Chain A
Amino acid sequence: MKKHQFDVIVIGAGGAGLMAALYASKTSNTAVISKLYPTRSHTGTAQGGVGAALANEEEDHWEWHTFDSVKGSDYLGDQDAIEFMCYEAVQAVYELEHYGLPFSRTPEGKIAQRPFGGHTNNITGKPVRRACYAADRTGHMILQTLYQQCLKNNVNFFDEFQVVDLLVVNGVAAGVVAIELGTSELHVFHAKSVIFATGGHGRVWDITSNAYAYTGDGIAITMRHGIPMEDMEFFQFHPTGIYKLGILITEGVRGEGGVLINGKGERFMERYAPKVKDLASRDVISRAMYLEMKAGNGINGQNYLYLDVRPETVNKYAALDGRRRQDGSPYVMTGEEIIAKLPDIVDFARTYLGVDPVAQPMPVQPTAHYTMGGIPTNKYGEAVIDENNTVMPGLYAAGEVACVSVHGANRLGTNSLLDLIVFGKHSGLRAAEYALGADFQPLPADPTEFTRAQFDRIRNVQGNEKILEISGKMKTEMMDLVGMFRTGEGMQSALEIVRELRERYKHIPLHDQGNVFNTELINIWELGNLLEIAELTTVCALARTESRGGHARDDYPKRDDVNWLKHTLAWVKPDGEIELRYKPVVITKYQPKERVY
């Protein structure tokens, strides 16, 4: 066992983790621990843009962005936090540009912006260009830029180290335990501040846009220490994943004029969202797609629809919508312009579908995409561990693993990258400030005791279960029963299945007994995390007897503000029982009203 000591430890090297590290390292001795090389993090796959009301392309205001996000959240987002995020957004995007991020540009040389779902001019209700983009690889450029700046600022990195446990002493975070993947050696990181920035857990579901690495490690580690999870029933299904594979096709395709078409050749979103159509928020569009396919309107009656970005289609519907360019001329796109604005999408479609998107429509279906719930925090990234928002000293969370809550029941596109940079920055600043005035907690006598118990168990299993069979069953059942549409009966049966899978999980034998890059050992541990999260998600979803944002129930189809305008907090007790309590939503200016797009 090796020991290290740092003022601030950041776990995860995506956008939130690197932003936190960049800011914390200005005043504190900071280290980043990541199971991947930092540039492999999932932030890199984000495509379309980061939301900020720069008003570079047309009139816009951070207050409009705030209202759109509140409405997008189906009124479950905390409005003080959303105001903070949307106000800070403008400066945060300029900071990224000052760090060298190569944004695409307007003719005046400013940061270019495109329309995105749910982002509107609050007066006309029409889509507004708010997503600041770098072609269709905005996340890639954020990840590269932040990693580069961390290198410039000599941040310490522990790459390919899997954090597996949090150390809590006297109710205060004291550090973490990690496994060095190359050697299986245990490392204890003693710290004053611990920031979790470990991302989401979309690998619970079958059709997913999420990386293999997205196994909810941060949630699983912290909930084992009695920290509650907030709003775990809310998970986002993105409308446009590549058919069968789930690979993301950015909403930016629709921002540039692409439309969804059903098997009858209809632009069906006109019926579901008359004003903004294909640029309604994601929950609305995914549900509309589900209903179309259920009604037999899939392509050839199959379980997919077309996303059509051929120039003739784009221009036809742009003319019908009266869409115009900034100079007032009609919006007309050529194939070359589409390829230039969406090069990666064109590449994905050609590689994985054998389809050239400027000549043929792309087969798409909704794909599991984003974790709205997570470790509860306030707007400074401090973990708050009960319904009174009591801060746990030394513990922070930022990015997808955290629930501030700025996304509520449904996140708007471009607000995830924004969340990373705003709350990554503020958690880093706050963690460093706390570390300056705090002492190290004494480490427990045997800090790796729980870690060794977990991994000794996995190493010593006798049994004949298979990891792929258990994960496969979890994914398909969660997709069917705790996916885009849910019922009490379906979720009850999912709960029984997941609990049975958790039993079977204990009988997966470990074939690889070595210490060098034992990826099988880590994969089994990760599956354990996913199963616990699947159970927690289902329990929270069963209890919420309403439909709101990403949580849509056939048996309770309406939003119920009288009983359910509140956040779920779920504790996993030492005996495995799950306890649910609730806390109020923070409302400042915007009273809940019906959500129409």
Chain B
Amino acid sequence: MQVTVKVFRFNPEKDKKPHYEKYKLEAEPTDRVLDMLEYIKGYYDGTLSFRRSCAHGICGSDAMRINGRNYLACKALLKDMHSKKITVEPILGLRVIKDLIVDMEQFFTHYKSVMPYFVNDEPPPPAERIQTIEERERFDDTTKCILCACCTTSCPIYWASDDYVGPAAMIAAHRFIFDSRDKAAAERLKILNDQFGVYRCHTIFNCTECCPREIEITQAIGELKAAIITGRVD
């Protein structure tokens, strides 16, 4: 079927302001938005710029705003858009560098701020540390995060203030705080017990709705709030 793809364009070396370009092309219902962007770049305009790598929803490169909602372009199939008109824009809240490419530095700075790494300075046993199936299950959901930034850049609170650490960083913190083997939960909770930490979350649920890994983000943030208030991690 014929579809019209409207793409946000901005070339910092030429344009004073961004604009939109429309492209008409033939597409199959099972085509990914990423396939359409590749086609446009290959046959209509080689200057169109976007990030992509694995093309099946694991590497997290191609987070974009598609018809007003954040998706990975490789997981957004035409048939699921329920429209022959597709609008593709960069994710919001981060500086646009060129076309669909945004500056990810601030996003990764927030990620790095929550000690997103395993801490346990006790000498390890000769084999693995023991962890029960239930203890492992406790933080399973937040291990799925691929740092695509769909969640953080769908959050109106983050749009208003990029000092807010954002959902993705809190998911990273959650993954370690609720890991029975980790020893730095208190330090991470102290970092998040801040006006730019957990309290900025107003349970809007945009993050949870658009997470391509279907992580229950708002719930995880709620568990962090509870841990800070009760001083207990369980």
* Chain A interfacial positions (CB closer than 8 Å to B): 36-37, 39-42, 44-45, 54, 94, 97-100, 102-111, 134-135, 137, 140-141, 144-145, 148-149, 151-152, 182, 211-213, 245, 247, 344, 347-348, 351-352, 354, 466-468, 510-512, 514-520
Contacts and interface: CB of A to CB of B under 8 A. Distances in A.
Contacts of A520: 41, 46-47, 49
Contacts of B59: 36, 39-42, 44-45, 211
A108 B46 CA distance: 56
Contact of B56 (A45, A140, A467): A45
Contacts of A110: 127-128, 130
Contacts of B97: 182, 516-517
Interface in B108-149: 108, 112, 116-120, 124, 126-133, 135-136, 139-140, 143-144, 146-147
Given A137-B144, A510-B46, A512-B47, A97 B56 contact: no
Contact of A100 (B13, B101, B133, B181): B181
A528 to B, nearest CB: 16
B118 A100 contact: yes
Interface of B: 11-14, 30, 38-39, 41-43, 45-47, 49-61, 75, 77, 97-99, 101, 104, 108, 112, 116-120, 124, 126-133, 135-136, 139-140, 143-144, 146-147, 175-176, 179, 181-182, 214
A42 B54 contact: yes
Shortest beta-carbon contacts, A-B, top 7: A100-B118, A511-B46, A468-B42, A148-B117, A109-B130, A512-B47, A152-B117
Given A110-B130, A211-B59, A516 B13 contact: yes
A44 B146 contact: yes
B72 to A, nearest CB: 10
Contacts of A514: 11, 13-14, 47
A466 B51 CA distance: 20
11 contacts: A44-B59, A98-B120, A100-B120, A111-B128, A149-B118, A211-B54, A211-B59, A466-B42, A467-B46, A511-B47, A519-B50
The DSSP consensus for interface residues of chain A is: loop
A141 B12 contact: no
Most buried by A among B39, B126, B128, B176: B128
A110 B125 CA distance: 12
Contacts of B60: 39-40
Nearest to A209: B56
Contacts of B139: 102
Contacts of A211: 53-55, 59
Contacts of B175: 102
A99 B119 CA distance: 8
B4 to A, nearest CB: 21
A332 B124 CA distance: 36
Contact of B11 (A40, A41, A516): A516
B176 A100 contact: yes
Contact of B132 (A45, A99, A109, A518): A109
Given A36-B53, A42-B53, A516-B11, A100 B46 contact: no
A148 B119 CA distance: 10
Contacts of B130: 108-110
Contacts of B55: 211-212, 247
A98 B130 CA distance: 11
Nearest to A98: B124
Contacts of B117: 100, 148-149, 151-152
A41 B61 CA distance: 10
Given A40-B59, A42-B53, A511-B47, A148 B118 contact: yes
Contacts of B135: 109
B129 A44 contact: no
Most buried by B among A106, A140, A245, A348: A140
A242 to B, nearest CB: 8
A582 to B, nearest CB: 36
Contacts of A141: 143
Contacts of A247: 55-56
A403 B226 CA distance: 51
B112 to A, nearest CB: 6
A49 B11 CA distance: 43
Contacts of B119: 152
B136 A104 contact: yes
A350 to B, nearest CB: 11
Nearest to A100: B118
Given A109-B131, A137-B144, A100 B47 contact: no
B61 A40 contact: yes
A278 to B, nearest CB: 23
B115 to A, nearest CB: 8
Contact of A44 (B58, B136, B181): B58
A40 B53 contact: yes
B43 A102 contact: no
B73 to A, nearest CB: 12
Nearest to A508: B46
B39 to A, nearest CB: 8
A99 B118 contact: yes
Contacts of A516: 11-13, 97-98
A149 B118 CA distance: 7
A105 B139 CA distance: 13
A98 B118 CA distance: 9
